[in-house]
Amino acid sequence: MRRPLFSTLLPLLLLALMNLSKMIWAWTAPDCTIADSSLLPNLSYYIPFCSLAPGLHIFASCFNVKDLARTLTAVPRNIEALCLQGTVPILPDDAFGHFPSLKLLRLQLATISITSGTFQGLDQLQHLFFEHHAPCCQSLFLPPDALEPFRFLNSLSFQGYCLNNSQNIKLPKSLSHLILRHGCLTTLQELQELFPNLVPDSPPTASPKPWSSFLELMDLSANLQLNQVSVRALDGLQLHSLRLDDTPLNSLSLLDSGLLHLDSLSLVGTGIEKLPCNVTGHFELRALDLGRNQIQNVEHGDLSSCRSLELLSLHANGLQFLPTRFPSTLPQLQKLNLSTNKLGPTLVLPEGLVSSNLRVLDLSHNELCILPYGAFSSLPQLRELWLSGNNISNLSSGSLEGLKHLQTLDLSWNRIKMLNPGWLSSLPSLTSLNLLGTNLERISGRQLQGPQKLSHLQLGSPESLEIYPPWPPALLSLEIWTGYLTQFSISNEEPFLFLEYLTLQTTFMLLDPKNITVHFPSLRHLTLRGYSPYIFLSHQSQQFIPQFPLLEYLHFWSNHEGTEELHLYGMPRLRVLELGDMDFLGESRPVKLEVLLKELPQLQVLVLSNLGLRSLSISSFRSLGLLQLLLLNSEWAVELDSSLQELIPQLPQYVYFSDVNFSCQCESSWVGPWAIGAPNTFVYGLEKSICMANASDYSKTPLLSFLSGHCQYHPEFQGFLTSFILVLLLTILALLGCPKWPWLHHLRTFFHAWWWKLCGRGPRSQFLYDVFVSYCVQDQAWVLEKLVPTLEKPPPAGEGLRLCLPERDFGVGQDRMEAMTASMESSRATLCVLSCQALGSPWCNLELRLATYHLVAKPGITCLLLLFLEPIDPRQLRGYNRLTRWLQKEDYFYLPQGWVEWDAFCVRLRRRLKKAGQKRED
Ligand SMILES: *[C@@H]1O[C@H](CO)[C@@H](O)[C@H](O)[C@H]1NC(C)=O
Ligand SMILES: *[C@@H]1O[C@H](CO)[C@@H](O)[C@H](O)[C@H]1NC(C)=O
Ligand SMILES: *[C@@H]1O[C@H](CO)[C@@H](O)[C@H](O)[C@H]1NC(C)=O
Ligand SMILES: *[C@@H]1O[C@H](CO)[C@@H](O)[C@H](O)[C@H]1NC(C)=O
Ligand SMILES: *[C@@H]1O[C@H](CO)[C@@H](O)[C@H](O)[C@H]1NC(C)=O
Ligand SMILES: *[C@@H]1O[C@H](CO)[C@@H](O)[C@H](O)[C@H]1NC(C)=O
Ligand SMILES: *[C@@H]1O[C@H](CO)[C@@H](O)[C@H](O)[C@H]1NC(C)=O
């Protein structure tokens, strides 16, 4: 009789196990990166994801998508942006209905066809992109009403697609950006067939009407066959901006297209040789971008019809000089971009600019050597002057004469060796000065005197730079790059009172005098690169940077030196810490991560890159209660200690491994099930990680396949099964009255509780519930009618316990797994009602497994009670026990219905629960 019982039980258990692994799978996103870029703006440096739109942060980026439905089940519903790359031939109806808050959708799915209902439910969507990056072009079919669900669609983009199978697509009214790049348009007429409502049915009544911004931008760049504009192809269309870069279209043909309004035209790389002034005059263009063309000469005659221009770019045209009356014929011109031409070596700007409105002038990369006296004196309104990448070596105050409104001056990457005192004296409004990549060897604050409001300063030199006071008083941001040595002379008054951003890239740094202390009372962002960790030396008297009361962001990439002395003190507000290129295993004393991190209570983002960290254990993270994002990059032979399992319920929400390889060891075997089933954590990069058996193992074994092949894959569950069986055995023994065991368990539990307290992990004091009750549907009637009323009955008749019942207390639509974990966490005790049927239910098993898990992870502060409703004969089963180590005799309740005194049972149960409550509370 016993054997049949076992043989029915076992298949049930196996079935439960299979069901479980299926359910767990749903919590991971195997080929997706799920991230929140508001935590770490620079996240894309470490893990690849598609570009987002400003203001969108929570996104999923999925690769190699083949089965769309399967991929999407793993993606959380609240994402704002979704990028899919792979091959999916058809996007079915309601493909994205699960993501009502989606604002951006980027599809790189090769040849696709779309149905009318594909985008159903996406009424919040603002950006829709179809992209294909291989050589032109893939075909894409879009039914006429495909875009109808969109009410707020702002930009629609097709790149690398031919739409010539589609017709009559209705564009949403809200659209403002339409992009068809790298396509196979041959004539503009095709646009009308594709999008009949692009151009209005009846042309709007003639001009003066303020133009309605139906389309802000139409970008038709890189349609290599687009060379025809049939007459009235764009009849009545009003555009702000049109881009025809790299197309063979003759811009003159736009004149007959019927285009009603255009402000800005871009014709980059179209091979034109003359200013297209007829078009400019026709539309009264305000902006014209003619970059990468062959306009080597601007003839004066050309210009007369260009009078409306406010912005003109002649970037990279091989221009050698400008006609003498150039700017005066363009009275509206505010921004002139002449970068990457051949205007050097002596700058000769045309005369007669006195009345000019010019605000921005870009003369970068023009081989300029000499800026003659008063070169810019005729540009009194100039706000920005860009002179980067020239050959300027000698600057006198005369060269910049007359620029009294100039705010931004970029002189980076010139051959400046010397700055005369007073060279900035004619620039009283200057706020931003860039001197990166110069040949300066010393600079004194005296050379920067003149502008009162200088707030952004960049200094750099290939070798070394000595910097002397006084510092400009109002600095907000300071950036210094030297190849070798930076030497600061500091006077005692506090020079950096307002500084918020500091970037320092150097190999050595000297302070003069050595014993000075520099204060940065307002610093928020600190970036250090290439420098040795000794900068944070705390034990010596020479402290460079002692206190950062407001520092929120520290990015420190060192020079591969040991970090023995690195201490991060005095940064109570630090939120983001990026550490890179250090040697944590240093020759003398290896550094402990926990020591480094212990005084950073506010840390939310921790990025560790190339530090030679060999092992991570729970102690490293103990003090980081607020951590939300953990990123490991370029680490080698990492061991993930089994103690980390304990952290699982509190692990940061985002855990990323990029270019990390592990050591092949079964200590980490918990990682597999965790990465796949992490209920509250998005894990990225473990599937791709490899592991190494030893230093010379180049076999590139994938970590997860090593773990599943060599280690027990579900150790806890197996542990549970075996323990469960032994629990039953023990129950039998207890019933037989074996007196030998209980005191031993008592002692163990006591010891563990004591140990945990010693380690400073006290129990949480706030509990929502007294008891989380786990039971299966078949036992529900008994639980609801008998058990619950008894336990919930208010005093004095009962204990008035607060119970949590999944069926009753979980919110509608709440993720059951999450709710379960959370409820167990916030209950003093978990009571599992067990019967043969419960053992057959995957949910009951899962609940019991979680409870067991909590028990093992936090011995002494977790309470698990087992209530058996039926006799289950365990004697045929073998195995060892884990549960018995933690449970005491009084934790088992054996209650075949009607078998013992109900009242006595209740008294015992209440007493036990009360005791559990007291224990968790102290
Ligand atoms: C991002 O991080 C990389 C590496 O640290 C750095 O080179 C780059 O400048 C950063 N970019 C931004 C925008 O911060
Ligand atoms: C669409 O355009 C491509 C490229 O011009 C061409 O090869 C293809 O035959 C066209 N398809 C249809 C249906 O017109
Ligand atoms: C451009 O305009 C000028 C006068 O404004 C006219 O003489 C010339 O024919 C026009 N060129 C074309 C190609 O329309
Ligand atoms: C000038 O044009 C080039 C090329 O388009 C661009 O990179 C540069 O930023 C422009 N300069 C300014 C000041 O906008
Ligand atoms: C500018 O400097 C570069 C680098 O030394 C040199 O090759 C180039 O000939 C110089 N150009 C002029 C116009 O002097
Ligand atoms: C610097 O330029 C000025 C004219 O702008 C010239 O008088 C002076 O000799 C030059 N100095 C050097 C060292 O080239
Ligand atoms: C730094 O050292 C100099 C002498 O070496 C001494 O005069 C000065 O008081 C010291 N300053 C501080 C702040 O300790």
At 586 the pLDDT is: 63
Residue 607 has pLDDT above 50, yes or no: yes
Helix axes 842-857, 2-25, angle to 10 degrees: 80
Query: Is 50 exceeded by the pLDDT of residue 538?
Result: no
Which of the residue ranges 25-34, 43-52, 534-543, 897-906 would you say has the lowest mean pLDDT?
A: 534-543
Ligand 3 mutation target, pool 277, 278, 283, most atoms within 8 A of CB:
278
Three-state secondary structure call for residue 643 = helix
Contact criterion met (CB below 8 Å) for 268 and 246? yes
Query: Looking at ligand 6, which atom is closest to the CA of residue 394?
Result: 1
Domains 21-198+213-231 and 764-921 are alike in CATH topology: no
* Contact assessment for residue 604 and residue 628, using Cβ atoms and an 8 Å cutoff: yes
Confidence at 800, pLDDT banded by 50, 70, 90: confident
With a Cβ cut-off of 6 Å, ligand 6 is lined by: 373, 394, 396
Confidence of residue 334 (pLDDT cuts 50, 70, 90): very high
Protein residue with its CA nearest to atom 10 in ligand 2 = 164
**pLDDT of res. 748:** 45
pLDDT at 15: 39
What atom of ligand 2 comes closest to residue 139's alpha carbon?
A: 1
Residues 6+ apart with CB under 8 A from 272: 251, 290, 293, 294, 295
Angle at CA of residue 330, ends 328 and 331, nearest 5°: 75
Topology adopted by domain 764-921: Rossmann fold (3.40.50)
| Mean pLDDT, rounded, for 763-775 | 69
Backbone angles phi, psi at 512, to 5 degrees: -130, 120
**Is residue 21's pLDDT more than 60?**
no
Task: Tell me what pLDDT residue 179 has.
Answer: 97
- Is the C-beta atom of 45 inside 6 A of ligand 1? yes
Ligand 7 centroid distance, CA of 514 (Å): 8
Sheet holding 112-114, edge to edge: 90-91, 112-114, 138-141, 161-162
Residue whose entry in the numeric block shows the structure tokens 């045309």: 350
Residue 47 DSSP one-character state: S
Report the alpha-carbon angle 375-377-382, nearest 5: 105
Cα–Cα dist 590/594, whole Å: 12
Question: Does residue 642 have a pLDDT over 90?
Answer: no
- Mutate which of 164, 185, 186, 189 for ligand 2? The one with the most ligand atoms within 8 Å of its CB, which is 164
User: Quick check: 758 pLDDT over 50?
Assistant: no
Burial class (CB in 10 A: 0-12, 13-18, 19+), 110: middle
pLDDT at 12: 44
* Binding site membership of 515 for ligand 7 (Cβ less than 6 Å): yes
Given a cut of 80, whether residue 398 has pLDDT beyond it is: yes
42 lines ligand 1 (CB under 6 A): yes
Q: Which ligand neighbours the alpha carbon of 343 most closely?
A: 5
pLDDT average, residue stretch 66-87: 90
For residue 277, what are its two tokens? 């002034």
Q: Do residues 551 and 573 lie in contact, with contact meaning Cβ atoms separated by under 8 Å?
A: yes
Most trustworthy range by pLDDT among 239-243, 373-377, 647-651: 239-243
Question: Which is more confident, 277 or 477?
Answer: 477
Residue range 78-83: average pLDDT? 93
pLDDT at 34 over 80: yes
| CB distance 77 to 104 below 8 Å | no
Nearest CA to ligand 2 atom 13: 165
Give me the amino acid identity at 19: N
Q: How far apart are CA 35 and CA 628, in angstroms?
A: 11
Question: Residue 683: phi, psi to the nearest 5?
Answer: -110, 135
DSSP single-letter state for residue 646: G
In this prediction, residue 117 carries a pLDDT of 92
Q: What is the pLDDT of residues 657-704, one digit of tens each?
A: 998 989 888 888 888 777 776 667 888 888 888 888 887 877 888 888
Q: Which residues are paired to 84 by β-bridges?
A: 62, 107
Q: How confident is the model at residue 354, as a pLDDT?
A: 58
- Assign 341 a pLDDT band (cuts: 50, 70, 90): very high
**512 and 490 Cβ atoms separated by less than 8 Å:** yes
Beta strands in 299-341 (DSSP E): 311-313, 335-337
Residue whose tokens read 């550490």: 579
Sign, CA torsion 316/322/323/325: positive
- The atom of ligand 4 lying closest to the CA of 315 is 2
Mean pLDDT within 22-26? 32
Residue closest by Cα to atom 5 of ligand 2: 184
Amino acid 742 reads P
pLDDT, residue 887, reads 64
Q: Is the pLDDT of residue 898 over 60?
A: no
Say yes or no to pLDDT of 890 above 80: no
CA of 915 to the centre of ligand 5 (A): 85
**CATH number assigned to the domain covering 263-430:** 3.80.10.10
- State residue 197 phi and psi, 5-degree precision: -90, 10
Pick from 86, 82, 93, 92: which is nearest to 66 by CA?
86
What's the pTM? 0.74
Query: In the chain, what percentage of residues exceed pLDDT 90?
Result: 33
CA–centroid distance, 542 to ligand 7, in Å, is 10
Number of neighbours of residue 788 by Cβ within 10 angstroms: 17
Confidence bin at 385 (pLDDT 50/70/90): very high
pLDDT (0 to 100) of residue 763 = 35
pLDDT at residue 330 in the model: 85
What's residue 352's pLDDT? 56
Of all ligands present, the nearest one to the C-alpha of 392 is 5
Contact 433, 456 (CB under 8 A): yes
Mean pLDDT for 428-448 is 94
Q: Looking at ligand 1, which residue's alpha carbon is closest to its atom 3?
A: 45
Question: Tokens 């702002």 — which residue?
Answer: 154
What is the distance in A from the centroid of ligand 2 to the CA of 180? 15
Protein residue closest via CA to atom 1 of ligand 5: 391
Q: Average of pLDDT values for 798-812? A: 76
Counting residues of the chain whose pLDDT is more than 70, the rounded percentage is 78
Domain segments of the chain: what residues?
21-198+213-231, 263-430, 764-921
Question: Distance, CA 395 to ligand 6 centroid (Å)?
Answer: 8
Rounded to an integer, what distance in angstroms lies between the CA atom of residue 503 and that of residue 509? 13
Q: Is the pLDDT of residue 751 over 60?
A: no
pLDDT, residue 339, reads 97
**CA proximity to 571, closest of 553, 557, 584:** 553
The pLDDT of residue 137 is: 85
The structure tokens listed for 833 are: 């009602």
Averaged pLDDT for residues 388-398: 88
Question: Mean pLDDT across the stretch 449-459?
Answer: 94
Average pLDDT over the chain, rounded to an integer: 80
Distances (CA, A) of 628 to 79, 621, 754: 17, 12, 30
Ligand 6 centroid to Cα of residue 276, in Å, is 40
Q: Which residues are CB-contacts of 298 (< 8 A; sequence separation ≥ 6)? A: 275, 314, 319, 322, 323, 326
Residue 455, both tokens: 């707030």
Calculated CA dihedral for residues 663, 666, 668, 673, nearest 10 degrees:
130
Residue with the smallest CA separation from ligand 1 atom 11 is 42
- 216-220, 432-436, 456-460, 504-508: lowest mean pLDDT where? 504-508
Q: Which spans in 32-160 are helix H?
A: 68-73
Both structure tokens of 55: 């203001």
Structure-token match 């079919």, residue found = 141
Residues 6+ apart with CB under 8 A from 591: 562, 563, 564, 566, 584, 585
Ligand closest in space to the Cα of 138 = 2
- Give the mean pLDDT of 892-913: 71
Return the residue whose CA atom lies nearest to atom 1 of ligand 1: 42
Residue 513 in contact with ligand 7 by CB distance below 6 A: yes
Q: For residue 857, what pLDDT is reported?
A: 58
User: Between these two residues, 752 and 563, which has the higher pLDDT value?
Assistant: 563
313 or 201, which is more confident: 313
pLDDT for position 4: 45
pLDDT at residue number 200: 72
Beta bridge pairs of residue 258: none
In short, whether 118's Cβ falls inside 6 Å of ligand 4 is no
CA distance 756 to 858: 8
Contact (CB, 8 A) for 469 and 442 = no
Phi then psi dihedrals of residue 498, to 5 deg: -110, 0
Phi (first) and psi of residue 777, to 5 degrees: -50, -40
- Judge whether 273 and 252 are in contact, CB under 8 Å: no
Looking from the CA of residue 492, the nearest atom of ligand 7 is: 13
Check residue 558 and give its pLDDT: 86
* CATH class of the domain comprising 21-198+213-231: alpha beta
How many angstroms is it from 40 CA to the middle of ligand 5? 41
- 83 pLDDT band, cuts 50/70/90, is very high
Q: Flag whether pLDDT at 327 surpasses 70.
A: no
pLDDT at 157: 96
For residue 500, pLDDT over 90 is answered with yes
Encoded tokens for 24: 């767990």
Residue 715 has pLDDT above 50, yes or no: no
Ligand 5 centre distance from Cα of residue 393 (Å): 11
Beta pairing partners, 424:
none
How high is the pLDDT of residue 294?
A: 93
What's the pLDDT tens digit per position in 701-712? 888 888 888 886
**For the residues of 426-441, what is the DSSP string, one character each?**
T-TT--EEEETT---S
Strands 654-663 and 629-640: parallel
pLDDT value for 13: 43
Containing 512, the helix (H) or strand (E) segment is strand 508-512
Alpha-carbon gap, residue 897 to 779, rounded angstroms: 12
pLDDT of 532 strictly over 50: yes
Please identify, by atom number, the ligand 1 atom nearest to the C-alpha of residue 609. Answer: 5
> Among the atoms of ligand 7, which is closest to the Cα of residue 517?
13
Q: Given this model, what pLDDT does residue 706 score?
A: 87
Rounded to the nearest angstrom, the gap between the alpha carbon of residue 318 and the centroid of all alpha carbons in its chain is 41
Residue 8 has pLDDT above 90, yes or no: no
pLDDT tens for 306-319 read: 889 999 999 999 99
Question: How much is the average pLDDT of 501-506?
Answer: 93
Confidence band (pLDDT; 50, 70, 90) for 2?
A: very low
From 37, 39, 40, 45, give the residue whose CB has the most ligand 1 atoms within 8 Å, as the site to mutate: 45
618 falls in which pLDDT band (50, 70, 90)? confident
